[in-house]
Amino acid sequence: MILPVVAGILLNGRGGYLLAQRPPGKIMAGFWEFPGGKVEAGETLRQALDRELEEELGIRVNCATPWMSRQFDYPHARVVVSFFRVLAWSGTPQACEFQKLSWFDPEEALPEGFALLPANLPLIRALSLPPVYGLTRAHELGEEPMLAVIDDACRRGLRLLQVREKFWSAEQIACFVQKIRQRTQPWPLRILVNGDPELAQRTGADGVHLPARLLEILKGRPDLPWVGASCHSRTELEQAQGLGVDFAVLGPVCPTQTHPAAHPLGWPEFTALRHESPLPVYALGGLTGLALNQAIQQGAQGIAVMRGLEDWAE
């Protein structure tokens, strides 16, 4: 039996998220989870979310966007959980049906031995991913102009950057990564290097961004803290999922100067593919900061920008 379930991730203005502890008498009592529950017959996912959060927390949802869907097998049922990011609500969350409620910081690890429902575990890591993923193009702008763009973007909130310099040597890339580190010391910027995992390790980056061509070649997840992947199709998203990457970048959504001959997916196809994947997915291709809100509404993790990085402001 497949049991459809919705869960709401309440996000406060400081980036924190709310977890609730299941009360005695319920299945898996004592475990913590994102609030939510079963979808009743005839309900849409959003209707179920609104009802569940009003019953469990005493709040009225004002703004919620779809995020990820994940399937899990429990002893009593196979559960498909549709997660929503809840950005605004009326009322103060109260433990109407739960034992406890508590807010957590996505940048901080949960306490050792913390009993979190397995279905919620992948979401905790995904919550630390920012809404904008920047890509470098120092081969076009030059190193110093690119460093200035990165510095300015970090001042405005950029926290995730891909060094995408495919025509440079390993030595050039390693040197550039160190220059970025020096320029961005005041900010918690994660740096991923596009290409080979060994290259990323040698540069001292925080992770690697895998080109689509490597997804069917690699036998397992690279041994790095963060792993992203470029995808253009359902097959590549499935390959990325199989490798256990942390997130995917899907596109191009719109026509792009970088790949003018590529057929753009458009938002409807992007949304359909994103909905099928359990991964956090960034939208890529011909996008600027103005597209961020639209991407979030379509369930994307956010947007990946290269030429739009200069104009982006969080």
Q: Where are the domains of the chain?
A: 2-126, 132-311
Q: How confident is the model at residue 117 (pLDDT cuts 50, 70, 90)?
A: confident
User: Per the confidence metrics, is the pTM higher than 0.85?
Assistant: yes
For residue 228, pLDDT beyond 80: yes
Residue linked to tokens 């609104």: 50
**Mean of the per-residue pLDDT values for the chain?**
93
pLDDT at 257 over 80: no
pLDDT of residue 259: 67
Under the banding of pLDDT at 50, 70 and 90, the label for residue 120 is confident
What does the pLDDT average to over 164-170?
Answer: 94
Confidence of residue 287 (pLDDT cuts 50, 70, 90): confident
For residue 286, the model assigns a pLDDT of 85
Q: Does CATH number 3.40.1160.10 belong to domain 2-126?
A: no
Alpha-carbon separation of residue 106 from 6, 166, 244, 248 (angstroms): 21, 32, 20, 19
Report the pLDDT value the prediction gives residue 314, as an integer from 0 to 100.
45
Retrieve residue 269's tokens. 């196809």
Same fold for the domain at 2-126 and the one at 132-311?
A: no
Tell me the mean pLDDT in the region 176-185. 97
132-311 fold: TIM Barrel (3.20.20)
Q: Check pLDDT > 90 for residue 210.
A: yes
Helix (H, G, I), strand (E, B) or coil at 107: coil
| Residues of the chain above pLDDT 90, percent | 82
Average pLDDT over residues 212-222: 96
What angle in degrees, to the nearest 10, is found between the helix axes of 143-155 and 170-183? 40
Q: Given a cut of 50, is residue 313 above it in pLDDT?
A: no
